[in-house]
Amino acid sequence: MTYRELEAWSDRFAARLRDQGAAPGAVVGIRLPRSLELIVALIATTKTGAAFLPLDPDYPPARLDHMITDATPAIVVDESRDVAMAQQDSVPPPLAPVHPESVAYILYTSGSTGVPKGIAVPHVGIVNRILWLQHAYPLNTSDRMLVKTPISFDTSVWEVFWPLTTGATAVIARPGGHRDPHYLAHTITNHHITAIDFVPSMLDAFLDEPTITDITTLTRVTVGGEALTPDLLRRYHHHFPHTPLHNLYGPTETAVDVLGWTSHNTDHDSPVALGTPGWNITTHVLDDHLNPVPDNTPGELYLAGPQLAHGYLNQPHTTATRFIANPHQPGHRMYRTGDLVRWHTHTPDDTPVLHYLGRTDDQIKLRGIRIEPTDIETTLTRHPTITTTRVPTTKSNSAASASNPPTSKPPSPDTPPSPPHAWQYAGTA
């Protein structure tokens, strides 16, 4: 599909959405499998000024119900044929400009109370992030980006819009294809993919795929969503010695990524780093009293700049505890990440970089998914036979992971908890 055709199709579908209530301040839920229709729906929603709410079809029904109830979308797009039919519509009138501070999208993450939190990100935030990305790792019209991240992950936002704002080609992976290393290797080779993103755990599995030896076109490989380990970095450079690996860091609350670090095959002695801030991003490494700590000293990372989300939807108290007044820049806010870091100043080129040391709480990342153990505990205790739970974490390949949660003995041995029952309760209030 050409850009001209994509523009016309998305304009027509945007007009349909507008007629059904999509407008600045409104929300449009999108529950579609990864497809061309999904891309059109995302673009069209953005054109109306409404915020898009990704509703992953693979999510538990209870979680989807909570997200819809919480975000109150004016429309839910859940039929691909509705998007396809818009191609036959007449040419619509021009749409009104979108204000930079209006909400572009709402993404839900794990909540410590067992209720997912909706994070409202403005247009200015994701635009700043994509412009920095293009400056740091530029795509051109000959590049081909593989769009493979599920829409429930924040990476999917820039994975869709980055190539489409630079004239590159977006190649859409089949639904479920992001989990299949053989399919990914085959797609990269056959479609001459030049740019791709992985979570480290999927990159680890991908490097075990025998057919990656056929890949010759990759020039931009990024990773994020989990800690990148030195062992995985060495394995990557062994298989792709001529392609740098770009490690990106950032929470959903700051429009995906705010830090970047590039590793070349020659950087054998350089420890893995989060890197340096992107455009217009200010980092503060602070102690418990919000005072700056000296270089090479651990502290909590706070982030400031245009990429900050407006906050958590319908959760003013939680918003106030994480998005706080910035004492180092009066009149502005900063986001408390909960990540323990330190500035490392002794680098080969004397450029200070941030290193990740761990968490100040018990939040973990598992295969790119942000998890609050208390979220799991709360969900489990909703089962009528469970009274108490505890979710311990273990270290596996230098990354925290959730182990099997021990639970109290059910009151009756005839009614053991079942995985389908737990699935039923996931994401409920």
Could you report the per-residue pLDDT of 189-201, keeping only the tens digit for each? Answer: 999 999 999 999 9
Per-residue pLDDT at 75 exceeds 50 = yes
Mean pLDDT within 197-217 = 98
Residue 138 included in any domain? yes
The mean predicted confidence, pLDDT, of the chain is 88
Q: Is the pLDDT of residue 417 over 90?
A: no
User: Domain residues for 376?
Assistant: 372-425
Q: Give the position of tokens 């959760």.
A: 315
Q: Are residues 58 and 165 in the same domain?
A: no
Q: What is the pLDDT of residues 158-169, one digit of tens each?
A: 999 999 999 999
Q: State the alpha helices, DSSP H only, in 279-326.
A: 316-322
pLDDT at 235 exceeding the cut of 90: yes
Domain check: are 139 and 175 in the same one? Answer: yes
278/408 same-domain check: no
Q: Are 14 and 87 in contact (CB under 8 A)?
A: no
223 with 274, same domain: the answer is yes
Is residue 22 a contact partner of residue 53, using CB atoms and an 8 Å limit?
no
Question: 421 and 331 in one domain?
Answer: no
Q: Is residue 194 part of a domain?
A: yes
Band (180; pLDDT cuts 50, 70, 90):
very high
Amino acid 416: pLDDT = 46
For range 25-29, the mean pLDDT: 98
pLDDT of residue 367: 47
Higher pLDDT, 24 or 369: 24
Domain-embedded: residue 119: no
Q: What is the mean pLDDT of the segment spanning 12-25?
A: 96
Of the three residues 98, 116, 133, the one that is the final residue of a domain is 98
427: left (phi over 0), alpha (psi -120 to 50) or beta: left
- What gap in Å lies between CA 133 and CA 162, rounded to an integer? 8
Cα 327 from chain centroid?
28
pLDDT at 268: 65
Pair 21, 56 in one domain: yes
116 found inside a domain = no
Please report the pLDDT score of residue 267 as a whole number. 74
Q: What angle do helix axes 123-136 and 155-164 make, rounded to 10 degrees?
A: 70
Is residue 344 located within the same domain as residue 196?
Answer: yes
With a cut of 50, say whether residue 401 has pLDDT above it: no
Mean pLDDT throughout 205-219? Answer: 98
Q: Are strands 245-249 and 220-223 parallel, antiparallel or unpaired?
A: parallel
Do 161 and 282 fall within a single domain?
A: yes
Residue 392 pLDDT > 70, yes or no? no
- Residues 94-118, mean pLDDT to the nearest whole number: 89
Residues 418, 399: Cα–Cα separation, whole Å: 28
314 within some domain? no
Note whether 262 and 332 are same-domain residues.
yes
**What is the CATH number for 249?**
3.40.50.12780
Compute the average pLDDT of residues 347-371.
73
Domain final residue pick, 63, 98, 133 = 98
Q: Could you tell me if 142 and 287 lie in one domain?
A: yes
Q: What percent of the chain has pLDDT over 70?
A: 83
Q: Residue 64: which CATH number?
A: 3.40.50.980
- State the burial class of residue 238 (Cβ atoms within 10 Å of its Cβ: 0-12, 13-18, 19+): exposed
Cα–chain center distance at 35: 18
Residue 399: is its pLDDT beyond 80? no
Whether 384 and 352 share a structural domain: no
Let me know whether 135 and 187 are in one domain: yes
Q: How many domains does the chain have?
A: 3
In a domain, 311, yes or no: no
Q: Is residue 333 part of a domain?
A: yes
405 within a domain of the structure (yes/no):
yes
| pLDDT band with cut points at 50, 70 and 90 for residue 266 | confident
Per-residue pLDDT, averaged over 113-126, amounts to: 92
What pLDDT shows up at residue 94?
83
